[in-house]
Amino acid sequence: MPRVALPFGRGEVSADVDAAVTVLDVPSPMPAPVVAALCEAALAAPIGSAPLEARVRPGDRVTLIVSDRTRDEPRAAFVDAVRARLPAVRLTVAIACGTHGATGGLGAIGLGHVRDVAVVDHDGLDDDALVAVGTTSRGTPVVVHRACVEADLIVATGVIRGHYFAGFGAGAKAIFPGLAATASARRNHEWKRDPAARGGAVDDNPCRLDLEEAAALAAPNAFLLDGVADRHDIVRAAVAGDVRAAFRAGAAIAAPWLRAAARPSGCVVVGDRDPVTRSLYQASKCLAAVTPWVRPGGRVVIVAPCEDGLGPVDVVNRGIYQLGIAPRLPREHEVVLVSSLPPATVAASYARWAPDLATAIAGRDELLVVPLASKVIADVLA
């Protein structure tokens, strides 16, 4: 009898199944390269831009943007690489919390060793810290933290990985929505309803193009340093330079690492590693990524501990599921959550509660199991 196992926090959940099982292949992880060396090589050969150190003068104000704790990223390597090239600037490290809320400072994201910098722990609801800089051609009001507009140079960092409606993560997203007002970010996110806003899409993706336009309005003088990750979330490359050009070069590297093909199934079981599975808000990325593989009448089982809860329930149900995911699924479908949450909590969400994996997959004669699902770019086999 086949046995199905998926990551669950620091452990795993498993079940014996009486069904035809297809496990989406994930190539075995190769030894991880030294991220510091990748960053140095990228900074030494910037794409579409003068070198980072040529973009500033001593005493200039530089805002270095890093991701918040919802992303597992080598922030220390990014910060150290940039500081080594910009020793004489006035540096602010801004944590790109987007719509997630303030993260708790540098210590909460592994940067407690960073000294002698100003710190911005972004809160998209703090009107006193926000500045309006214009409106995109698609109608998104661009309101961002003043650390963007008051800097002589913005250095945006992140890791390029699959993203179900922005095409890929990172790039200009560090600036917008990373340092955006919550209302502005959610206006951009309305573009997720467009079928062209999909995983792996860049130049024909209205959400990506809108956020890049917003970022250019907020930070016209910006520089990018991004890692590029495989499906194990191991950073295997880095790119630096012009925000748009360097990002596209990184996306081209990432795409073949992230694409996978499968036939649609009547039951798709998804999971991933921490921190994606800490809340349903984040774990919904696993569901979104596999929508092309769900048959009409199919079930998706999300395996996620959700130790931080559901997240903001209205955003999870309307802003994520109803707006961006349900239209991509067959009209007849169901979503089941295997988590550490009690039934009453899950009842407030778009998902149905199940006590364990065996119960969640009961009655299905075929399973497609997708480990590390949130980063996958799904291709459909006939």
Q: Are 229 and 249 within one domain?
A: yes
Q: Are 21 and 48 within one domain?
A: no
**What percent of the chain clears pLDDT 70, i.e. is strictly above it?**
100
- Mean pLDDT over the full length of the chain: 94
CA distance 97 to 179: 7
Strands 130-135 and 141-145: antiparallel
Q: What is the pLDDT of residue 181?
A: 97
Q: Which residue has the higher pLDDT, 276 or 101?
A: 276
Q: What is the pLDDT of residue 99?
A: 80
pLDDT band at 26 (very low <50, low <70, confident <90, very high): confident
For residue 333, what are the domain limits? 3-27+263-380
Axis-axis angle for helices 35-44, 75-85 (nearest 10): 40
Q: What is the pLDDT of residue 1?
A: 67
* Type and span of the H or E element at 121: strand 118-121
Token duo for residue 157: 């960092």
Token duo for residue 351: 């998902």
Q: What is the pLDDT of residue 72?
A: 85
Give the pLDDT confidence of 359-376 residue by residue, as tens digits: 999 999 999 999 999 989
Q: What is the pLDDT of residue 87?
A: 93
pLDDT band at 151 (very low <50, low <70, confident <90, very high): very high
CA distance 355 to 208: 38
Phi, psi of 103 (to 5 degrees): -100, -15
Q: Are 84 and 213 within one domain?
A: yes
Number of domains in the chain: 2
pTM of the model: 0.90
Q: What is the pLDDT of residue 301?
A: 98
Give the pLDDT confidence of 253-293 residue by residue, as tens digits: 999 999 999 999 999 999 999 999 999 999 999 999 999 99
Torsion 365-294-323-100 (CA) sign: positive
Phi, psi of 135 (to 5 degrees): -140, 140
pLDDT band at 27 (very low <50, low <70, confident <90, very high): confident
Q: Are 65 and 108 within one domain?
A: yes
Of 196, 225, 258, the last residue of a domain is 258
Q: For residue 158, what is the domain's CATH number?
A: 3.40.50.11440
Q: Are 151 and 221 within one domain?
A: yes
The residue whose two tokens read 């913005």 is: 154
Q: Which residue has the higher pLDDT, 25 or 258?
A: 258
Q: What is the pLDDT of residue 30?
A: 80
Q: Is the pLDDT of residue 323 over 90?
A: yes
Q: What is the pLDDT of residue 102?
A: 79
Give the pLDDT confidence of 30-71 residue by residue, as tens digits: 888 999 999 999 999 999 999 999 999 999 999 999 998 878
CA distance 159 to 70: 12
Is there a contact between 226 and 157 (Cβ–Cβ < 8 Å)?
yes
145, 212, 185, 196: which is closest to 315 by C-alpha? 185
Strands 167-168 and 162-163: antiparallel
Token duo for residue 314: 């209205």
Q: Are 375 and 271 within one domain?
A: yes
* Type and span of the H or E element at 80: helix 75-85
Give the pLDDT confidence of 174-223 residue by residue, as tens digits: 999 999 999 999 999 999 999 999 999 999 999 999 999 999 999 999 99
Q: What is the pLDDT of residue 100?
A: 79
Provide DSSP, 177-238: TTTB-HHHHHHHHGGGGSTT--TT--TT-HHHHHHHHHHHHH-SSEEEEEEEE-TT--EEEE
Give the pLDDT confidence of 302-317 residue by residue, as tens digits: 999 999 999 999 999 9
318, 305, 324: which is closest to 349 by C-alpha? 318
34, 36, 105, 101: which is closest to 66 by C-alpha? 105
Q: Are 210 and 324 within one domain?
A: no
Q: Are 177 and 325 within one domain?
A: no
- Give the Cβ contact number of residue 230 at 10 Å: 22
CA distance 210 to 216: 10
Of 214, 241, 258, the last residue of a domain is 258
Q: What is the pLDDT of residue 3?
A: 87
Q: Are 106 and 175 within one domain?
A: yes
Q: Are 221 and 335 within one domain?
A: no
